């Protein structure tokens, strides 16, 4: 399974935002939507072996599972509506138990460190970083969990958390990309078995 942890520093944790202003009033929810769909969708289908964890303001985490999610479309607006619906159910998440607003969507009351802690046993935590090694140096991780920040970089506290959990620090190419582009490139590297099979 491939997992992606996407940090959103400004996306609201309540559903009180307009779908008409995702880039502004909703704290760049547009970008988070693109990351979600880049991770889960390809042409004519869903990537079933993928889970995405959207960490909102280090407070709530929405996890979306490719095996279960239904009717996810690639456009930002309908994806944002799905996230808004998930946030409407946030109060149903109690302790470690998630709310389950729709198939494949879970809302957890946990932030970044707790999300990484959940993943650490099962996955290789991969920190995408411009000073890391190319992903294809050494064996490809079989159960990777890629960690990406939004348009804002990781905070100092997030870097400390990451340092505690990171198994590999990896760069994908010579240029810094948007998070959704980085997700697409990571999928491509894995889809091709490290650029060996096209």
Please report whether residue 31 would count as binding a second copy according to CB under 8 A.
Answer: yes
Please report whether residue 129 would count as binding a second copy according to CB under 8 A.
Answer: no
Please report whether residue 178 would count as binding a second copy according to CB under 8 A.
Answer: yes
**CB nearer a second copy, residue 85 or residue 97:** 85
The candidate with the shortest Cα–Cα distance to 51, out of 69, 34, 28, 31, is: 69
Please report whether residue 44 would count as binding a second copy according to CB under 8 A.
Answer: yes
Contacts of 89 (CB under 8 A, 6+ apart): 99, 100, 101, 107
* Candidate list 5, 7, 22, 54; residue touching a second copy; CB under 8 A: 22
User: In angstroms, what is the minimal distance from the CB of 2 to a second copy?
Assistant: 13
Please report whether residue 155 would count as binding a second copy according to CB under 8 A.
Answer: no
User: In angstroms, what is the minimal distance from the CB of 108 to a second copy?
Assistant: 27
Q: Do the beta carbons of residue 186 and residue 50 sit within 8 Å?
A: no
Q: Which residues bind a second copy (CB under 8 A)?
A: 19-20, 22-23, 30-31, 34, 38, 41-44, 73-78, 134-136, 151, 171-178, 181, 184-185, 188, 191-192, 195, 197-198
């Amino acid at each position: 399974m491939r997992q992606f942890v996407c940090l959103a520093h400004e996306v609201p944790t309540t559903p009180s935002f307009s779908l008409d202003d995702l880039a502004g009033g909703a704290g760049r929810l547009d970008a988070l939507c693109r990351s979600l769909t880049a991770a889960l969708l390809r042409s004519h289908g869903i990537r079933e072996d993928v889970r995405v964890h959207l960490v909102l303001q280090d407070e709530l985490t929405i996890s979306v599972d490719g095996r279960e999610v239904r009717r996810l479309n690639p456009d930002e607006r309908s994806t944002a509506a799905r996230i808004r619906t998930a946030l409407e159910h946030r109060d149903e998440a109690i302790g470690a138990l998630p709310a389950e607003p729709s198939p494949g969507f879970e809302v957890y009351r946990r932030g970044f460190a707790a999300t990484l802690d959940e993943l650490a046993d099962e996955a290789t935590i991969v920190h995408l970083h411009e000073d890391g090694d190319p992903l294809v140096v050494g064996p490809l991780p079989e159960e990777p969990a890629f960690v990406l920040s939004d348009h804002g970089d990781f905070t100092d506290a997030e870097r400390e958390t990451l340092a505690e959990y990171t198994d590999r620090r990896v760069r994908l190419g010579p240029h810094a990309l948007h998070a959704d582009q980085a997700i697409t490139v990571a999928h491509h590297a894995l889809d091709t078995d490290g650029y060996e099979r096209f």
